[in-house]
Amino acid sequence: MDWSGWGDPARRRPLPESLQRLLEQALGMRAPSGTPVAREEVRLPSVALTAKVEGALAAVVGEAEVHTDVASRLAHAGGKSTPDLLRRRLVEQSAPDAVVRPGSHDEVVDLLRVCAEGSIAVVPFGGGTSVVGGVQPARDGHAAVVALDVGRLDRLVEADKTSMTARLEPGLRGPEAERLLGGRGLTLGHFPQSFEYATIGGFAATRSSGQASSGYGRFDEMVVGLRLATPRGTLELGRAPASAAGPDLRQLVLGSEGAFGVITEVTVRVHAVPEECVDEAWRFADFGSGVEAFRRLAQAGRLPTIVRLSDEAETFANLAMADDVGGGGAPEGGCLAILGFEGDAERVAASRGELAGLLEEYGGSPLGTELGARWREGRYSAPYLRDAVLDAGGLVETLETATSWSRLQTTYAAVRDALTRALADQGTPPLVLCHVSHVYPTGASLYFTVAAAQGADPISQWVQAKTAASDAIAECGATISHHHAVGLDHRDWMEAEIGELGIEVLRAVKNTLDPDGILNPGKLVPPA
């Protein structure tokens, strides 16, 4: 992963002509802001680890797995939000003092003990794809901060084809997990946009949700067992597919974002690799009728594997960029929907037939499978565009929420208005796009993409817009995140989410598992 942008530097491309034009003409984008500083120019604080602590870390993982070089530190300097990428473009940067790479659960437990004794903050680090400040190397009053990179914990420990479960280590990235499972005819079915870089441990720690969530479920629904290494020892959870043996503590670990411990193993439900995958495109007259069609599918228990509905603006932007970015293409006017069907050929055919009638009842018209295939091909590419937009002097970022069906339209309008107003007030009126991509019987997610010209201080420019959107989400009674998690960026909205008493519960759990407060300081749990 590129230290200063998204993904594989070889796959980075200049801004497509169409998007350049859109940003210039519609949004008033000015001159290019230039590319990031070269790695050699970056200035980092000196390494704050004492020789004693460094020795103690090395005693656990071996000297070769304690890294204090600039390249390692910068590769763990934060996540991949737009503010993160903007900070990567500055000369003065922050980074963890060291990166340690344990090779086993026991080494993780030992590392946490060493760090607790030495008052060293620990940031558990998987793919580093957080877009909410979830891996910010905050020292928070401790003597130093290390990134605990789980990359060496990358085994498929066991596949149980009778129970259709697999035990996976946390450092496995999406493609590698799928490759190992695929060798046994299995798939996890978890394909978030960060799939190519994000890890199993990160999926669990952040309650990730993939594009095929309607078919395979959210990651938190896939998890049947967990192992968590904490400064107080090990927590092993999950003895049955379902249980009434008290509160479900797995659901405390899922979403704990490295603040309670380091997930060192996850047992997940797996599926047979589908015989067939077909993605259909559909057109709806407007967002409202598409949403109603999706609600009907969800409440009738007839959701296909993938559902995705762009609003009018996203559909238009998609169309405008079709020639340049490949993944695009859309109907003129109205709203584009993608429906993906996976499974054995007979069931895929039956489901497609059954749904067609239903979608037509809501005014849907079929556009065939070619647009769907293009969507599938380009579905991990969007984050690359963001770097090119930044280079050109623009700003593009995403945010998301979920709410009940009855609150969906008001939340949609309120968030769009808040973003538009907050950026227009700064002289940079934005383009706000939205899609629904996770659908449930009782409600759905809303995923917003915002593009604007960069202002003089683009980080604070975006923070203002994001704050306005987050306030609107809270006021609508929606959740502050459907699948991006809390990190630093959503922490101040946790009181709206679970109340002061809920936060006290989180603090009590953290104090029990991490009494010295070394684990991922500042994330998830608001300070007392």
- Contact map string, positions 299 to 318, toward a copy of itself, x by CB under 8 A: x-------------------
Nearer to a copy of itself, 31 or 242 (CB): 242
Among 67, 139, 190, 218, contact with a copy of itself (rule: CB under 8 A): 218
Shortest Cβ distance from residue 294 to a copy of itself (Å)? Answer: 12
Site for a copy of itself in 492-521 (CB under 8 A): 493-494, 497-499, 501-502, 504-509, 511-513
Shortest Cβ distance from residue 218 to a copy of itself (Å)? Answer: 6
**Which pair of tokens denotes residue 340?**
């993906």
Q: E strands within 367-426? A: 394-404
Q: Are strands 98-100 and 144-149 parallel, antiparallel or unpaired?
A: parallel
Nearer to a copy of itself, 255 or 430 (CB): 255
Instruction: Give, in order, the Cα–Cα distances in Å from 314 to each of 23, 74, 318, 319.
Output: 14, 34, 6, 8
| CA trace torsion 58, 60, 61, 67 (10° rounding) | -30
Instruction: Give, in order, the Cα–Cα distances in Å from 88 to each of 4, 80, 91, 186, 466.
Output: 5, 10, 8, 38, 19
Nearer to a copy of itself, 355 or 513 (CB): 513
52: buried, middle or exposed (CB in 10 Å: 19+, 13-18, 0-12)? exposed
**Which span sits near a copy of itself by CB under 8 A: 82-90, 169-177, 372-380, 477-485?**
477-485
Residues written for the chain = 528
Residue 277 in the binding site for a copy of itself (CB under 8 A) = no
SS3 labels along 240-284: CCCCCCCCCCHHHHCCCCCCCCEEEEEEEECEECCCEEEEEEEEE
Whose structure tokens read 């963001």?
Answer: 386
- Contact map string, positions 103 to 142, toward a copy of itself, x by CB under 8 A: ----------------------------------------
Site for a copy of itself in 165-184 (CB under 8 A): 165
Nearer to a copy of itself, 262 or 319 (CB): 262
Residue 231 CB neighbour total at 10 angstroms? 23
**Which residues have CB under 8 Å from 89's CB, separation 6+?**
4, 33, 34, 35, 36, 37, 390
Nearer to a copy of itself, 119 or 251 (CB): 251
Among 140, 248, 471, 495, contact with a copy of itself (rule: CB under 8 A): 248
Residue 351 in the binding site for a copy of itself (CB under 8 A) = no
Residue 405 in the binding site for a copy of itself (CB under 8 A) = yes
Site for a copy of itself in 193-212 (CB under 8 A): 206-209
Residue 240 in the binding site for a copy of itself (CB under 8 A) = yes
Residue 22 in the binding site for a copy of itself (CB under 8 A) = no
Nearer to a copy of itself, 416 or 484 (CB): 484
Nearer to a copy of itself, 73 or 482 (CB): 482
State how far the Cα of 257 lies from the Cα of 123, in Å rounded to an integer: 10
User: Which of 93, 173, 89, 96 has the alpha carbon at shortest distance from 139?
Assistant: 96
Shortest Cβ distance from residue 24 to a copy of itself (Å)? Answer: 35
Among 445, 449, 461, 470, contact with a copy of itself (rule: CB under 8 A): 445
DSSP-derived 3-state class of residue 450: strand
State how far the Cα of 304 lies from the Cα of 320, in Å rounded to an integer: 28
SS3 labels along 137-179: CCCCCCCEEEEEECCCCCCEEEEECCCCEEEECCCCEHHHHHH
Shortest Cβ distance from residue 65 to a copy of itself (Å)? Answer: 27
Residue 451 in the binding site for a copy of itself (CB under 8 A) = no
Residue 482 in the binding site for a copy of itself (CB under 8 A) = yes
**Which residues have CB under 8 Å from 25's CB, separation 6+?**
none
Residue 87 in the binding site for a copy of itself (CB under 8 A) = no
Among 31, 41, 239, 528, contact with a copy of itself (rule: CB under 8 A): 239
Nearer to a copy of itself, 31 or 245 (CB): 245
Whether the Cβ atoms of residue 436 and residue 374 lie closer than 8 Å to each other:
no
Shortest Cβ distance from residue 225 to a copy of itself (Å)? Answer: 9
Residue 241 in the binding site for a copy of itself (CB under 8 A) = yes
Amino acid 412 reads Y
- Contact map string, positions 28 to 67, toward a copy of itself, x by CB under 8 A: ----------------------------------------
Total of chain residues touching a copy of itself, rule CB under 8 A: 84
State how far the Cα of 239 lies from the Cα of 219, in Å rounded to an integer: 18
Among 117, 404, 413, 424, contact with a copy of itself (rule: CB under 8 A): 404
